[in-house]
Amino acid sequence: MSNPFDLTGKVALVTGGNTGLGQGIALALAAAGADVASVARRASDDTVGKVLAKGRKGVSIQADLTSIEPVERILDEATAALGPVDILVNNAGIIRRADAVDFSEQDWDDVMNVNLKVLFFLSQATAKRMIADQRGGKIINTASMLSYQGGIRVPSYTASKSGVAGLTKLMANEWARHGINANAIAPGYFATDNTQALQDDPVRSKEILGRIPAGRWGDPTDLGGAAVFLASRASDYVQGITLPVDGGWLAR
């Protein structure tokens, strides 16, 4: 029996693939055999270099994901360099922190545009191509612990990540019949730029680590197995789930 986790011959497009969680996912997919297009505002030279070192093809696509303007160009460039996209990983995201009573409209719109609006329209554009080609494919969204919980001082982030979980279900409901699997990964507390303020706060960091049964912050490499599973044939009958990778945070 062939390896159901093998991604040889597949093309993956990962947004926010230049650093952190996105880079961890991109490298895991490459290790499983996929060629990878990394999309970010800045060049993904480090990620692409590591993808190439694994014997896979890689390409860096620079795009500002605060609006849907570059969506078609992103797909065109990925397809021209690597072939049609089989796996879309919507990982790019931003966060803004302030008390809810002081939260600005700008901070609301900026986060919702990147985390939810562009995620949807990039998924839509990718799904249209998959359906037209009758190829099917995999869409993997990055959700959050705040897809389950309210959090504090991050109203737009909480709203966007709750929306990601809901949109993932909707995508599965509508696109499963076309052979497209839509699922999400909900990372727990990972050591990335988005959580640097929490890591640097001794009180909050202690509170967070005290609740995580694994007793540590997550490392981007910890997402690799979940990403490969949801990108591969092993998950062909998995639809609309949000899979926590959280060191046990939600179990506490």
Active site residues: 157
CB 133 within 8 A of CB 234: no
Give the orientation angle of helix 155-175 with respect to helix 105-112, to 10 degrees.
30
Cβ partners under 8 Å of residue 102, min gap 6: none
d(CA 239, CA 44): 30
Q: Which residues have a Cβ under 8 Å from the Cβ of 17 and sit 6 or more positions away?
A: 23, 25, 26, 36, 37, 38, 39, 40, 44, 47, 89, 91
Question: What is the largest distance, in Å, between two alpha-carbon atoms of the chain?
Answer: 58
